[in-house]
Chain A
Amino acid sequence: MNYHFDWEPIWAHRDLLLSGFVLTVAVSAAALVLAVVLGTLLGTLATAQSRLARIAAATVVETTRNVPLLIHMYFWYIGLAFLRLPPFLCAVLGLAIYSAAYVGEIVRGGIDAVARGQSQAALATGLTRAQSLRLVVYPQALRIIAPSLAGLFSQLIKDSSLASVITVAELSFAASAIESDTFRSFEVYITISAFYIVLVLAASNLVLLLPGAHRSDLTVRVADA
């Protein structure tokens, strides 16, 4: 092994890495918000009383998550090229819709895990169906699913690296640019790998700040899928 380590070129390109890091956080955060909103809708639909709604939700979840993320991104970027959506938006939409299927499954599991008597009692006290969901079921479900959500968030951050393929200049894109400029392949990829690990750790621990979320051995670890 006669490889000479040289970290100088990495430091010289720190502004590129930094802007890549910011963009990774931006793509992930935007996709996360959208995925949670869509996923909550899907998960609620999957526990609805109407059989049609449940079948519709299950179909959407199955078709969405059995198609690779890369194809989701290509769909917005290349498939709908005539719309001329900016790459950032394509990445966010692809990532959000793909992840929403997983959020939906988690939310469905969480709602199912809240004792049935809870929503029945809520309805019996005169709350509307929406109020019972918002005030009684969701808060309890959130506590139950917090560890799974943490896993999903870290998965989403890692998945955001695929945005580089559709020319979003996030971390992985910056790494490829620096690599082709300096040929310090090992140093640059190890560096961004460290960036991702820090981000993933931060995300999986941030979820613990959710109201009522409990610290469990699941969430303090690096990422589950």
Chain B
Amino acid sequence: MPDVILRNLPFLLDCLRMTAELAVVSAAGGTVLGLAVATARHLRLPLLSPILRVYIELVRGTPLLVVLFICYFAIPALLGYRATAFGAACLGFILFIGAYIAEDIRAGLASVPQGIVDAGLASGLRPIQVLRLIVLPQGLRRVIPVLFSQYVRLFKFTSVASVIGVREMTGGAMLINAREFAPITILIAIAASYLVICSAISLGGRLLYQRLAVQS
């Protein structure tokens, strides 16, 4: 490994930990949000469902960077609180990726054949039981590959948090570069880190899907 990377390895690992924290918190939060929104939209809950649709369309039409700016500057100004960069980044990523995950999960829920739903209802399950015992388990298993590609996107997107001052891997690398000035080496090193981790996430998704895929 080049000298400049070795010398700064502890710092880089620290930044990588920040990236990982950001990604894990956002992935977990985004999945929960996406699942809740998708279920509400799937059930066509009156009032809530149209509002959630507006949320989804607004977020999917707005760049991540602008969502982060809104969470870091606009919402705190509006509600009168002080945001930390990390908190704002988490909020922004959760709101952002949640909208995409919600649409993916909703497509998964809609792909469960109507015949299976009818069979569940005919065997005496209540609609909520059909949702919990049949539609959610089957629908979610179908969307594992898409879900994991959203996680990969999210992991890459954490680099944008450096713009609002979160010291994650990309931001940290730029700090090191300001001191060492070895841009190519440093950029290649962190690009390789992202590459390895993103490939690992994809691989994890594929393995999970192989184990859990709906047999038909």
Contact = CB atoms under 8 A, between A and B. Distances in A.
A183 B73 CA distance: 9
Contacts of A2: 80
B60 to A, nearest CB: 5
B160 A162 contact: yes
Interface stretch (B27-35, B110-118, B133-141, B191-199): B191-199
Contacts of B198: 66
Interface residues of B, number: 41
B187 A74 contact: yes
27 contacts: A3-B78, A62-B199, A66-B195, A66-B199, A67-B195, A68-B194, A70-B163, A71-B170, A81-B183, A158-B63, A158-B64, A161-B63, A161-B64, A161-B66, A162-B65, A172-B69, A176-B69, A186-B78, A189-B70, A190-B74, A192-B66, A196-B61, A197-B61, A200-B61, A201-B61, A223-B60, A225-B153
A196 B183 contact: no
A25 to B, nearest CB: 14
Contact of A189 (B66, B170, B187): B66
Interface in B154-191: 156-160, 162-163, 170, 174, 177, 183-184, 187, 190-191
A164 B198 CA distance: 25
A221 B54 CA distance: 12
Contacts of A192: 66
A165 B58 CA distance: 23
Contacts of A189: 66, 69-70, 73-74
A223 B191 CA distance: 27
A124 interface: no
B191 A175 contact: no
Interface string B100-140: 10010000000000000000000000000000000000000
B62 A197 contact: yes
A179 B194 contact: no
A223 B61 contact: yes
A69 interface: yes
A71 B191 contact: yes
B183 A79 contact: yes
B162 A70 contact: yes
Interface of B: 57-58, 60-66, 69-70, 73-75, 77-80, 100, 103, 152-153, 156-160, 162-163, 170, 174, 177, 183-184, 187, 190-191, 194-195, 198-199
A159 B63 contact: yes
Contacts of A69: 156, 159
A164 B177 CA distance: 20
A2 B194 CA distance: 43
B22 to A, nearest CB: 13
Contacts of A175: 66, 69
A131 interface: no
Interface in A189-206: 189-190, 192-193, 196-197, 200-201
A224 B56 CA distance: 11
Nearest to B157: A68
Given A197-B62, A221-B57, A225-B60, 19 more contacts: A3-B79, A62-B199, A66-B195, A66-B198, A68-B158, A69-B156, A69-B159, A70-B170, A74-B187, A78-B177, A158-B61, A158-B63, A161-B66, A162-B160, A165-B65, A172-B63, A186-B78, A189-B74, A223-B60
A1 interface: yes
A26 to B, nearest CB: 16
Contacts of A1: 78-80
B157 A193 contact: no
A120 interface: no
Contact of A193 (B58, B77, B177): B58
Nearest to A164: B65
